[in-house]
A and B are shown apart, each in its own frame.
Chain A
Amino acid sequence: MSFASIHVPNFMVQAVLRGEPQLRDRAIALVEGAPPLVRVVAATEAALRAGIQLGMAKLQAQLCGVEIRPRSRTQEKAAHAALLDLGWSISPRIEDHAPETIIVDVAGLASLFGSHENIAHEIVQRAAGLGLLVHLAIAANLETAVQAARGFPGITLIPAGEEEKCLSSLPVRALSPSVEALETLDRWGIRTCKELAALPVLELSERLGQEGVRLHELARGASTRSIVLAEPCELMEEEMELEDSVEDLEPLSFLLGRLLDQMCTRLAARSLAAAAIRLKFELGDLFEKDFQVLAENVPANFASGEDARKIYKKVLQLPVPMRDSKMLLRLLRLQLQADPPPGDIVKITLAADPARPRSTQGGLFVPGSPNPEKLELTVARLAKLVGNANIGSPELVDTNRPGEFRMTRFVPETNETGFRRRNRIARKKAAAGATASGANSEGALGKPMTGCRIFRPSVPAAVELREGCPAKVFFRGLCGRVVAASGPWRTSGDWWRENSWHQDEWDLEIEFYIANAGAGGAAGLYCVYYDSDCRGWFVRGVYD
C-alpha cells in the first residue's frame, strides 16, 4: 500500500489567491473578527517579510503597507472542494483528512502514471492547474505521509521501512501535539522527531499519557490506521463574495468568467462536464419600490420566502454536457442581457450539474448537423433577437382547437444508431404505404400537400351571405366575390373553460375586384371562419 498526502500550505491565503490570481505577487494579509477586534489570521511570505505578524491588529497591519483582505470562508470551501476534485482525478480512494489536507491511495496507479515520482509530479501539476500550490509526500504509512506533507516543502518520497529516518528532522510541532504536551517536550529540550523517537515509550507514557504514546508512534512512523474513504459530492459549486457590489454586465462577466474557469478546471479534473449551470446572485439592498416591481414582473427568477426577494436565480440548461468556459460565459451573458438582475450583486454562487461528457462518433452515412455547442450559442443569440418564445421546434398539441401548437427546444439528434433505426422504420413504412396506395389510387401518391399560411392574429372580415353561403368578403381594405366555397365545417370545444371556441369554417376562393389585390394576385384561396362567441368573421389564413 502507498499513500500520497496532499497538503495546501497557508490554506486561507491560497484560497483567496485561487479566486484572485492577480494578487499572487503582492503582499497580502487576511484579517478576521468583529470590529474593533479584527486580527491578522494569515499572510503571504511577502507580507511577513514586510513586518506582518499573525494576531496583529488590522490597524497595525495597515501601517506595514500590505494589502488587507477579509478571510473568505466561501473561497476556502471552494478551494477545499477543488482539492477533493484533485484527489478524485487521481484515484477513487481518497480521505478528506482536513480542509487543507487530503490523502490519496496511490496503490496500483503505476500502470497509469508510472513511478511514485511521476505520480507526485502529476499531482503537483494538476494542483497548479486548479490554482493550488501543494506539498506532497508519498509513503507506505498513511500518517507518515500526512506528517511529511505538512512538515516538508515540495515533493517528499519516503521508501518503505525508512519512515523514522525520513521524519527524523521534522520538528515535533508538525505532529500537532496539544499545547501542554508541546510545552513539556520543549522543557525537556525535545525539538525534533528523532529526539522524540529516541525516548523510551514506557516512561513517555507515564509522563504524557496516551498522547505521549501517540506522538512517539508518529515520530517513528509506526502509527497505523485504515484510510477513511470520502464520498464524491454530486454538486460542484463556486462562490464569490464581493466587497463592492457590481451592477453592470461587463465587470460581472469578468467575475463570472473567472468562476467558470475554476468550475471547468474542476470538471475537467474529474472528467465530467456541466449539464446545467445554476447561477445565484445575492442582491444588495433594494428600495421598497423595486421590490414591488420584482414581485409583479419576474417572480420566477426569485426564490420564495421572507429574505428570498434578494436572491436572483438563473438556470442555463445545456443541450449537451459541456465544459468550455468561454462558450458557457457567452451563453450566460446572452441570458443575462435578456433578463438582467434588477439590482447590485454582492455575492455570486455558480453551481454545475455534473454529467458525463458527450461522446459521439461521427458516421459516414449520418448527415451533418450543427455542432451542439455552437448551435446553443446561435439559438441563444437568436432568442435574444426574436424572444425566447419565438424560437424552437413546433410541437402539435393533443387538442381539437384549430392551429394549436407549442414551441419546444430544438435538439437535433446526431446519433448514428438512432439514424439507422429510424431509416429502417421509414423504409418499412414507405414500403407498406406503397403497397396500400397501390391498392387504392395511384393519383394521390407523390402529390405534395397544399401549404397553408396563417395570419397571426386572425384578420377580422366582413362577409355578405347569400342563402347561408358567403358571397362577398371584405378584409384588409379589399373587397372580393366568392367564386367557390366549401363549408361550413363546425368545430367547438373546451366549453367548460373560459377560452372555449365555437367556429364555422369555410374554404373560399375569392376573386378580388381590384386587379392587383393581394399584392399581385387577383384571386386567392382563403380559410375564413365565423366565431360564434365573438359573433364575427375572421380570415385564418391563405392556402399557398
Chain B
Amino acid sequence: MAANLAALRSKVELALAGRVAAPFTYRDRKTVTTVSTGIPEIDSLTGGLPRGALTEIFGPPCSGRTSLLLSALGARSAQEEACALIDGADAFDPHSAEAAGVDLRKLLWVRCKNIEQTLCATDLLLQGGGFGFIAVDLSDISPRLVRHVPLESWFRFRRAVEDTPTILVLLEQESNAKTCASLGLRLESEGARWARTIPTPDADFVRHSLIWLLGGLSARGEVSRSRGQKTGEVYSGDGFAPGIASDREGIFTTRTDWDYLSWSRQNQNRQKI
C-alpha cells in the first residue's frame, strides 16, 4: 500500500514537473494585511482594503464611489504612503480631495483620455512599483467599453500586485474583474440630504424664503465578493478595528458631510442673493 502511494506520488510529481514546484508540500495560509478605508462603516463591513490584491468598487453615479476613494486616499496619504490615481476620464477634483484630507503632494495623478491609455498607464505604474495605493478610476467610462476589457488584463493587474504592499482599487459602474478581485464592493445611492440654514441678514428672503444647503448624500454598500471571507484567510488590521469581515447582512449606510463646501464658499466671498 505504502509502495503504491509512493509510486502514485512520484507519478503525479513527474507529471507536474516544471509547472508546480512541490505539489505535496504544505503551504501556510496566506496572511492578508488590510488597511482602513477611512470610513468605519465600510471597514466593519469589508474588513478594510487588502494589500497585494485587487479591490473592485462599483456602482452607479452618485453612489458614493468617489467619496470612498477620497477617504481611502486621505487615509493612505496621511500614513505617508505614495498614492497614484489613474483617472480614466480626467474627472478628479483636487479641491474636494484636499477637503477630504488627501495630501496632494503624495498623490500622482495621471489624467488619461480613454480606456486604452488608462490600462496602459496602470501597467506602467504597476511595473514601476513602490506605490502604497493605486486607484484606477473607470467610473466615467461607458460600461460597454469597460466590459470589453479582456479578463487577462485584470488578471495581470492582480498578479502584478500580488506579494507587494500595494493596494489596487478599481472604480467602475459595473463589476468586470470577476474572480480577479479579492474584494468586491457594490455601492448604491440612498439619496441626498438637504439641510436648512439659519437665515442671515444679507439674504434675499423675498425670492427664497427658505434657504437650503446640500448636507451630503447617503450610500449603501454591499460586499459582492470577498476572497478573505470565503477562504478564511487571516486578516490583520492596520490602524482600525475590527479586522474581520462582517458576517451581517452586508448593508451599511454612510453619510457625507458638506461642511467643507460651505466653508470654502464662505472663504471664496460668495454672496447669498
Interface of A toward B, CB cutoff 8 Å: 366-371, 374-375, 377-379, 381-382, 385-386, 390-396, 400, 403, 405, 407, 410-413, 419, 422-423, 426, 444, 446-456, 467-469, 484-486, 488-491, 505, 507, 509, 518-521, 523-525, 541-544
Q: Is B71 among interface residues, defined by CB-CB distance under 8 A?
A: yes
In the assembled complex, the CB of B167 is this many whole angstroms from the nearest CB of chain A, namely 12
The residue from B98, B100, B173 contacting A519, defined by CB atoms under 8 A apart: B173
Interface centre among A386, A403, A448, A484 (most CB of B within 10 A): A448
- Contact partner of B39 among A374, A396, A448, CB < 8 A? A448
Nearest-CB distance from B269 to chain A (Å)? 6
Closest to B81 in A: A367
- Residues from chain B with Cβ under 8 Å of A391 in the complex: 108-111
Q: Quick one: which of A368, A452, A521 contacts B189, CB cutoff 8 A? A: A521
Q: Do A525 and B214 touch across chains, with their CB atoms under 8 A apart?
A: yes
Contacts of B68 in A (CB 8 A): 448, 451
In the bound assembly, the distance between CA atoms of A423 and B111 in angstroms comes to 30
Contact between A452 and B270, CB atoms less than 8 A apart: no
Q: Which residues of B have CB within 8 Å of A422? A: 80
Q: Is the CB of A451 within 8 A of B269?
A: no
In the assembled complex, the CB of B7 is this many whole angstroms from the nearest CB of chain A, namely 48
Could you tell me if B67 and A448 are in contact, using CB atoms closer than 8 angstroms?
yes
With A382-B124, A392-B108 given, is the CB distance from A450 to B90 under 8 Å? no
Cβ-closest chain B residue relative to A389: B111
Most A-side CB within 10 Å, residue of B93, B191, B255: B93
Choose one: B91, B216, B258; the contact of A456 (CB below 8 Å).
Answer: B91
Q: Which of B26-34, B113-121, B154-162, B226-234 contacts A (4 or more CB under 8 A)?
A: B113-121
Known: A544-B61, A544-B139. A394 touches B214 (CB 8 A): no
B-side contacts of A375, CB under 8 Å: 128, 130
Which residue of chain B has its CB nearest to the CB of A447? B257
Number of contact residues on B: which range applies? 35 or more
List, in ascending order, chain B residues with CB within 8 A of A486's CB: 194, 211-214
The docked-state distance in angstroms from the alpha carbon of A400 to that of B80 is 29
Q: How far is the CA of A446 from the CA of B256 in the complex (A)?
A: 10
* Complex CA distance for A297 and B112, rounded to whole angstroms: 24
**Are B100 and A370 in contact, CB atoms less than 8 angstroms apart?**
no
Partner of A543, one of B62, B98, B107, B109: B62
In the complex, chain A residues whose CB is within 8 Å of the CB of B211: 486
A393 to B83, CA, bound (A): 10
Give 1 or 0 for each of B202-219: 1 = CB within 8 Å of chain A CB: 000001100111101100
Q: Is the CB of A381 within 8 A of B62?
A: no
**Chain B 35-53: CB-based contact to A (< 8 A → 1; otherwise 0):** 0001110000000000000
Give 1 or 0 for each of B51-68: 1 = CB within 8 Å of chain A CB: 000000000111111111
Q: Other CB < 8 Å A-B pairs besides A367-B80, A449-B71, 5 of them?
A: A386-B117, A405-B94, A453-B93, A490-B270, A520-B60
Nearest B residue to A483, CB-CB: B192
Report Cα–Cα, A333/B98, bound state, in Å.
35
Among B67, B78, B107, B214, contact of A449 (Cβ-Cβ < 8 Å): B67
Task: Decide if B213 touches A412 in the complex (CB within 8 Å).
Answer: no
Indicate with 1 or 0, residue by residue over B176-217, a CB within 8 angstroms of chain A CB atoms: 000000000000010110100000000000011001111011
Enumerate the 9 nearest inter-chain pairs by beta-carbon distance, A residue then B residue, closest first.
A370-B130, A451-B66, A378-B128, A450-B256, A520-B60, A394-B94, A544-B66, A390-B111, A521-B60
Residues from chain A with Cβ under 8 Å of B273 in the complex: 488, 490
Nearest-neighbour CB distance to chain A for B166, whole angstroms, equals: 9
Which residues of the partner chain B approach A446 to less than 8 Å between Cβ atoms?
40
Are the C-beta atoms of A451 and B60 separated by less than 8 Å? no
Given A448-B68, A455-B91: A410 in contact with B108 (beta carbons within 8 A):
yes
Closest to B214 in A: A507
CB–CB A468/B129 < 8 A? no
User: Known: A368-B165, A454-B92. Is A525-B192 also a contact (CB below 8 A)?
Assistant: yes
| Chain B min CB distance to A174 (Å) | 58
Chain A hits for B165, CB < 8 A: 368
Q: Could you tell me if B256 and A447 are in contact, using CB atoms closer than 8 angstroms? A: yes
Asked if B95 and A544 make an inter-chain contact with CB atoms under 8 angstroms apart, the answer reads no
Q: Across the interface, name the chain B residue whose C-beta is closest to A392.
A: B109
Provide 8 A-B residue pairs closer than 8 Å at the C-beta atoms, listed in order of the A residue. Answer: A370-B129, A378-B128, A390-B112, A396-B98, A446-B40, A448-B256, A456-B91, A486-B214
Q: Given the complex, which residues of B lie within 8 Å of A452, measured CB to CB?
A: 66, 93, 95-96
B62 contact from A377, A390, A485, A525, Cβ within 8 A: A525
Contact check, B212 vs A485: say whether CB atoms are below 8 A apart.
yes
Contact A518 B60 (CB under 8 A): yes
In the bound assembly, the distance between CA atoms of A448 and B131 in angstroms comes to: 23
Q: Which residues of B contact A450 (CB under 8 A)?
A: 67, 96, 216-217, 256-258, 261
Q: Are B129 and A448 in contact (CB under 8 A)?
A: no
Contact at B61–A368, with CB atoms within 8 Å? no
Query: What's the nearest-Cβ distance from chain B to residue A305, in Å?
Result: 37
- B71 A448 Cβ-Cβ under 8 A: yes
Asked if B254 is an interface residue, CB under 8 A from chain A, the answer is yes
Partner of A524, one of B61, B64, B65, B105: B61
- B214 contacts A451, C-beta separation under 8 Å: no
Within the complex, the shortest CB–CB distance from B43 to chain A, in Å, comes to 11
A89 to chain B, nearest CB (A): 33
Which listed residue, A382, A407, A521, A525, touches B125 by the CB 8 Å rule?
A: A382
Q: For residue A505, which residues in chain B have a CB less than 8 angstroms away from its CB?
A: 270
CA distance A370 to B127 in the complex (A): 11
**How far, in Å, is A433 (CB) from chain B's closest CB?**
11
Smallest CB-CB separation from A542: which chain B residue?
Answer: B61
Contacts of B272 in A (CB 8 A): 489
Q: Which of these, A371, A386, A455, A521, contacts B111 with CB under 8 Å? A: A386
B111 touches A426 (CB 8 A): no
Q: B121–A518 contact, CB under 8 A?
A: no
Q: Say whether A521 contacts B93, CB under 8 Å.
A: no
CB distance from A422 to the nearest CB of B (A): 7
Q: Is the CB of B69 closer than 8 A to any CB of chain A?
A: yes
A405 with B61: CB separation less than 8 A:
no
Whether A396 touches B106, Cβ cut-off 8 Å, given contacts A449-B99, A523-B62, is no
Report the bound CA distance from A220 to B111 in whole Å. 75
Chain B residue contacts of A542, Cβ below 8 A: 61-62
Residues of B within 8 A of A413 (CB): 80, 105
Given contacts A453-B91, A486-B194, A519-B61, contact A544 B257 (CB under 8 A): no
Q: Which of A395, A521, A544 has the most CB of B within 10 A?
A: A544
Q: Point out the residues of chain A lying under 8 angstroms from B79, CB to CB.
A: 367
Q: Does B259 contact A (CB under 8 A)?
A: yes
Beta-carbon nearest neighbor of B260 in chain A? A449
Contacts of A390 in B (CB 8 A): 90, 110-112
How far is it, in angstroms, between the C-alpha of A468 and the C-alpha of B217 when the chains are bound? 25
Question: Which residue of chain B has the shortest Cβ distance to A422 in the bound complex?
Answer: B80
- A41 CA to B9 CA in the complex, in Å? 79
Contacts of B4 in A (CB 8 A): none
Residues in A with CB closer than 8 Å to B213 are 486
CB of A187, distance to nearest CB on chain B (Å): 75
A506 closest partner in B (C-beta): B214
For B269, the chain A residues whose CB sits under 8 A away are 400, 491
